[in-house]
Amino acid sequence: MALRAGEGSHTVRRSALTSKIEAEVRLLQRHVAMLKAIMENQPIGIIRLSELLSFPQHKVRYSLRILEQEGLIKPSPEGAVTTDKLEEFLDYLKGVLDSMSTTVVELRKTLE
C-alpha cells in the first residue's frame, strides 16, 4: 500500500479495495466538468476545453468520446454541443449519486 495525503491530520493508505472506485469517481468528476463546460460554452473545441479545464488534450478527447457515445453531446463544425438527452441524464445522475451517497453513509456507519 502506498501512502498519500489525507484530510486533516489523518494518513490515508491506498488499497486495492478502494483504488478502483476512487479512480472511477475522479473520471466521473472529469466527465461532469466537461459536460458543464460544454453546456456553458457551446460550441467548444478540444483545445479550448483543455485550456479552460486544465486537462490534457488526450483526456479531453477520451471524455468527449464517452459523452458522445452516451448521446449527451454531438460534434458540430464549431465544436461540441449538448443534445436534448442531457437534462434527462443529469436528473438520472443526481439520483444515482444520491443513492450512492446513502450507501456510502450506511457503509461508513458499519465501521463505527
Distance CA 72, CA 64 (A): 9
Q: Is residue 86 part of a domain?
A: yes
Q: Is residue 85 part of a domain?
A: yes
Q: Is residue 2 part of a domain?
A: no
> Which residue range is the domain that position 76 belongs to?
18-109
pLDDT at position 12 is 60
Tally the domains of the chain: 1
Q: Is residue 13 part of a domain?
A: no
Q: Is residue 12 part of a domain?
A: no
3-state secondary structure the chain: CCEEECCCCCEEECCHHHHHHHHHHHHHHHHHHHHHHHHHHCCECHHHHHHHHCCCHHHHHHHHHHHHHCCCEECCCCCEEECCCHHHHHHHHHHHHHHHHHHHHHHHHCCC
- The domain that contains 75 carries what CATH number? 1.10.10.10
Claim: this prediction has a pTM higher than 0.75: yes
Contact 46, 57 (CB under 8 A): yes
Q: Is residue 30 part of a domain?
A: yes
Reported as a single tens digit per residue, the pLDDT across 16-46 is: 888 899 999 999 999 999 999 999 999 999 9
Mean pLDDT over the full length of the chain: 90
The stretch 95-110 carries a mean pLDDT of: 95
CA neighbours within 13 Å on the CB side: how many for 93?
14
